[in-house]
Structure 1
Amino acid sequence: MNLSPPTRPSDDPRVLDVPVLIIGGGGAGLTASVFLSDLGVGSLLVERHATTSIQPKAHILNARTMEIFGHHGLARDIYAEGSPPANCGAMAWLTSLGGDEPYDRKVLHRADAYGGGDLAERYAEASAYPHANLGQRWLEPLIRRHAEERNPGGIRFGHEMVEFEEDGDSVTATILDRDADRTYRVRAGYLIAADGGRSVSKRLGIRMLGTPTFLEWINLHIRADFSEFVPFDDTVVNRVSSLADDGSLEHCGVVPMGPKQWGRHSEEWTLMFSRPPGTREAAELDDETVVKMVRRTLKLPQDHPMEVQSISRWPVEGTVAEHFRSGRVFLVGDAAHRHPPSGALGLNTGVQDSHNLAWKLARVLSGDAAPALLDSYEAERRPVAERVVERALFSLFNQIAFTAGTGVVPGARPEWNRAQMTALFSDTPDGRTRRAVLAEYFETNRITTAHLGLEMGYDYAEAGFVTDDGTERPEPDPLGLDYVQSCRPGGRMPHAWLRRGGERTATHDLIDHGAFLLLAGARGESWVRAAAEISGTHGPAVTAHAVGPDHEVADPDGVWAALRGHGEEGAVLVRPDGFVAMRLPSASPDPVRDLRRGLDAALGRAVPVTAAPGAEGDR
């Protein structure tokens, strides 16, 4: 059922009323539409382009994003269309794809990446959903199909917002139907700007703060057979650092994109390289020159077929919007934060923005939550974006820096640098020492490819919309590698495998759309009854389970009991987005009152209490 927006009924048939207007049909916008539909909220999405992205663009979807997609019924299709796990578990650095110098076609380094290889066990402990690998060229049409099925007529490509205005009750936008060359007006309760910052934030005067454009990135989408040149079948990214005739190292990413075969047998690829801005090279490289430069860097034979599908150029920056909200307007994805692709953090962060915002809009529109809940979106997501941007920038510079371990010196005579590369691969004690030292350099790249703590470990406690239980936050790993699962309020609910009705199920799969989840201990029936009473008296929906051997939901391995941080008479209250709102360590003389207190804090209806009731009890 669509929820009505808090606006006056339209008395103008030319004005379309809708609860939420979404500007932008990329990954963040399309997922916002899906999430809102699943929450029963009507929306209209408009996208100025006629189609979804023609560029492969982002492709790695991390475990947290796939967990969200699993909750909304998209994960199975993404896994089916994307790369098999066997073809996306490593990253490699190569000296070239071709060439006949003694240092050509060599492997500088190879490492497990993004939950593959030796990382798999650590990632599986944190989530039921492994990484996926599917470029936006194929991912966006998939999400669009789901969005259109759930919201028929509510996804309009080739429609562009030309202006908007906000009053105290609504946002009214003028939309241009580019095919029909006519405009119409839409009045919405709220507007989600998922337009990459092209229009909405500029009209609002919201500045992007941080590091402005410092590189220009060039991506080529090509069709080619690289199977004889790429040595590994499981690399999700191959990075070539080849020695040019002038003695300088030139870098190019070689990324398999499938879409039918994968790994080294992919039919399509993305080739990525960058140039400093402001030079003639950066501003005026025509397509023919770009292709020649890439062939030179990769050292491909001139007669090897390479069919260019498209070439895109885009500025690389490291910025965060000074505000994620202006009245009834919210920024998500690239409209809110922009950074280099290193670490595969951009699309993932945008999807997680939309997920955080969608349930809050739904609860405010339904009347369950106070409008103040919407303040939590910026308070929770902006610190995450700042950390992501910082890491993406550092990862990019680190990837450039660790190639210094080759011994190649910028500006040195070409003969010197050729000698360094030759010595690096020599079968001598010196060569072995050089390669061992180089491996130490490359090991630092795990901050880019194994950052589970960065992907999963963000915490919303300081935003103030959860109930503090007086426990200390686990010290975060400064490298972002390790992730300590905890039921401390503000953190993501830990993953554990439970049994429900005899079937194996993950903790996050127990969350119903738009509902809070309460998981009590084996003797926590009073909390379950309190949740049922609240849900039955026009309060927010709370799905509740006692977890124990004599209940429908059991914890056969004891993993959940070790993670939850409360006794058998306690409980954990989880928000609709999977983050812990309140931990109740023991029984209470008035569980309805105490549970309402936690819900009020989570829904912006009250100032959160400093500690949960009974915090001094058993843990």
Structure 2
Amino acid sequence: MSASEVLIVGAGPTGLMLGCELARRGVEFRLLEAGDRLFPGSRGKGLQPRTLELFDDLGIVEEIYEAGMRLPTMAAWENGRKARQWDMITRPGPTPDVPHAEPWLLPQWRTQEILHRRLQQLGGQVEFGTRLTTFTQTPQGVTAQLRTAAGTEETAHAAYLVAADGGRSTVRTALGTPFTGSTVDPNPMMVADLEVTGLDRDNWHLWHLEQGTLALCPLPGTAFQLFADLGGAEPDTDPGAVRRLVDSWTGLHAGTVHWASVFRARTAMAEQFRTGRVFLAGDAAHIHSPAGAQGLNTGIQDAYNLGWKLHRVLRHGAPDALLDSYQAERLPVAANVLGLSTRLHQGDAPGRKMTEQRGTETHQLHLGYPDSPLTHETRTALPPTALRAGDRAPDAPLKSPDGTMVSLFDLFRGTHFTLLALGVGFPLAGEGDAPRKSATEVRVVRIGGADADVHDGGGHAQRAYGTGLFLIRPDGYVGLATEDLGEVDAYLAGRYGAAPLQAPLQHRLQPQLQHQGEQ
């Protein structure tokens, strides 16, 4: 019998992200994938700004940008020419608090490839051709039966099991967790990756005909993603049939078909995301209409939320209630996002799909955890627009005393908590006092003032946060907002099993900056 701390089932975007989060924290895990390779298609191709922030933290956002492209503007074709052009997404442009301001186009297979490479760099691996067949759980852990591609059987034990095995989740089915939803659109639709000759790559091209809707979106490289709704007819995914469909509807010449699949747009969500020591994440917990590019992003953020909590419980003695907060936080978010993607899908006029513009609500930057048991706001008389505990922690450009430019996201990057002090007094230790807190657990940053670690010359941090002490969680949300340093110890110990900060506190920012890339 093999043993690990966490068993992850499914190496899609959610499972790979969770593997990366556990690997960089030194948690022992196994990541199983029933297939013999990563998913080969472009299906989830839109990466939202909040997901780009997560990839920034993971250290892969530059590679994501280099591999992808901006979403092109739309172009509707009529009678062999472009009849109308428009932008389907809102592009507000980067700001000091939102450096990643618009969605980025990258085929799902490429996103997974980058995540897989990062996982390997962190010392993790995917066990391809390995399928979970059955499992049992006790208050002490989970025991699973595995079968490899060669047909050999294995028993594996883990403290926790995470199902990231898709909408037809074997784990969710075995749990008996209700998965309820509805059909968003009864028409079967096809998505495929193929080569097309004679079509420019400046637009996302649309043909609205009596038979239905066909769209060709350029992908980084040479391929296009095909979307086809044939007005209720069942699409044929045979490569020859796909080429004939494109040729006849567009007058263009389709070449090699790399991948094709048929789906029906529906929405569904599990009634609970945790059952004992088993968690559901990604499509195993919720499935979405593709409208608005929400599904893949929501799953990646599920993993980002769960990974650090598993680490705190397994390695730092945090109470089990911390794991309950995964469902408390992610289930309402999933419900919100499901409603949004459904509204966008149904908001398109009949027979005129993909014409509704997507606003900034699809960027997922506004999603937060105001009602979470981990959220504690003690300041009073705040203006309506003030940042509050439970909100996403914004970025801001800052300058260290030696003139080095640094951003808040630079200081957040890693596996630690960050305590920001803005406009409030903060005690310093006397000569010879030693700090109890390592930079890997809580990084303390005083912004502005006589003893500042960094200066807010442009006032961007002050405008984004206001005044107070802000404890930023490892996943970039404000957990605690207060004006009383004494409340920080109680918050850390009670929710995360963290030792108290030393008071008075001494710390050194420069060594932390030097090592921030390693965190």
Same-fold call, TM cutoff 0.5: yes
Please give the root-mean-square deviation of Cα atoms over the aligned residues, in Å.
Answer: 2.9
SS of the residue aligned with 2:448? coil
Relative to 1, partners in 2 of residues 1:139 and 1:269: Cα closer, same or farther, differing over 3 Å?
Answer: same
Residues 373, 242 of structure 1: CA spacing in aligned structure 2 closer, same or farther, 3 A cutoff?
A: same
Picking from 463, 471, 478, the partner of 1:562 is 463
Which AA in structure 2 matches 1:185? T
Asked which structure has the greater RCO (Cα within 8 Å, sep 6+), the reply is: 2
Q: Which residue of 1 aligns with 2:304?
A: 355
CA contact (8 A) 1:64 1:127 kept: no
Larger radius of gyration: 1
Aligned to 2:13: 27
Structure 1 regions of 5+ residues with no counterpart?
A: 1-14, 260-266, 405-440, 476-483, 606-619
Alignment partner of 1:379 is 2:328: yes
Moved more, 465-474 or 353-362: 465-474
- Per-residue CA deviation, residues 490-518 of structure 1 (Å, 9 max, x unaligned), is 11112211223533222222125332110
> Which residue pairs with 1:188 in the alignment?
158
CA deviation after TM superposition for structure 1 residue 332, in Å? 1.0
1-side partners of 2:183 and 2:435: how far apart? 49
CA distance in 1, matches of 2:363, 2:54: 16
Q: Residues 290-319 of structure 1, C-alpha deviation per residue, up to 9 Å, x if partnerless?
A: 44333333x224xx2422122111232111
Task: Report how far residue 129 of structure 1 moved.
Answer: 6.7
- CA separation in 2, counterparts of 1:130 and 1:535? 41
Superposition map of 1:423-572 within 5 A: 445-446=356-357, 448=358, 450-452=359-361, 455-469=364-378, 486-500=386-400, 501-521=402-422, 523-526=424-427, 536=436, 541-548=441-448, 550=450, 551-566=452-467, 570-572=468-470
The SS at the match of 2:27 is coil
Q: Does 131-140 or 38-47 show the bigger shift? A: 131-140
SS in 2 for 1:456: coil
Percent identity, aligned pairs only? 27
User: AA paired with 2:286?
Assistant: H
Q: Cα distance 1:523–1:398, how it changes in 2: closer, same or farther (>3 A)?
A: closer
User: In 2 relative to 1, CA 494–472 (structure 1 residues): closer, same or farther, beyond 3 Å?
Assistant: farther
Q: Name the residue aligned to 1:110.
A: 86
Count, aligned residues = 492
Q: Which residue of 2 aligns with 1:255?
A: 217
Residue 311 (1) aligns with residue 260 (2): yes
Question: Contact 2:294–2:362 (CA<8 Å) still a contact in 1?
Answer: no
Cα deviation, residue 575, structure 1 = 0.9
Tell me, yes or no, if structure 1 residue 393 matches structure 2 residue 342: yes
Q: Which residue of 2 aligns with 1:160?
A: 131
**Are the structure 2 counterparts of residues 572 and 534 from structure 1 closer, same or farther at C-alpha, using a change threshold of 3 Å?**
farther
SS in 2 for 1:379: helix
Tell me what 2:32 maps to. Answer: 46
Is residue 143–residue 155 contact of structure 2 (8 Å, CA) maintained in 1? yes
In structure 2, C-alpha distance between the alignment counterparts of 1:472 and 1:192, rounded to whole Å: 41
Q: Return the structure number with greater helix share.
A: 1
Deviations 1:428-485 (A, max 9, x none): xxxxxxxxxxxxx96xx33x2x32475111121212221133669987xxxxxxxx6x
Could you list the per-position Cα deviations for residues 396-415 of structure 1 after superposition, in whole angstroms to 9, with x for gaps in the alignment?
A: 122234949xxxxxxxxxxx
**Which of the residues 446, 460, 475 maps onto 1:577?**
475
Contact 2:102 2:363 in 1 (8 A): no
- In structure 1, the residue matched to 2:251 is 300
Q: Name the CA distance, whole Å, in 2 between partners of 1:125 and 1:402.
A: 39
Deviations, residues 352-374 of structure 1 (Å, cap 9, x unaligned)? 11000111111011134111111
* Residue 271 of structure 1, aligned match among 212, 222, 226: 226
Does the CA-based 8 Å contact 2:213-2:351 persist in structure 1? no
Give the drift of 1:173. 1.0
2:207 is the alignment partner of 1:241: yes
CA distance in 1, matches of 2:7, 2:481: 35
Aligned to 2:117: 145
Equivalent residue, structure 1, for 2:145: 174
Q: Give the structure-1-normalised TM-score.
A: 0.73
Find the counterpart in structure 1 of residue 506 from structure 2: none
Q: Distance in 2 between matches of 1:21 and 1:378?
A: 18
**Which SS does the other structure have where 1:106 is aligned?**
strand
Please, which of 89, 105, 127 is the counterpart of residue 99 of structure 2? 127
How far apart are 1:539 and its partner, in Å? 12
Structure 2 residue runs of 5 or longer lacking an equivalent are 499-519
Alpha-carbon shift at residue 121 of structure 1 (Å): 4.3
> What is the distance in 2 between the residues matched to 1:80 and 1:473?
41
Structure 2 equivalent of residue 594 of structure 1: 487
Amino acid at match of 2:83: V
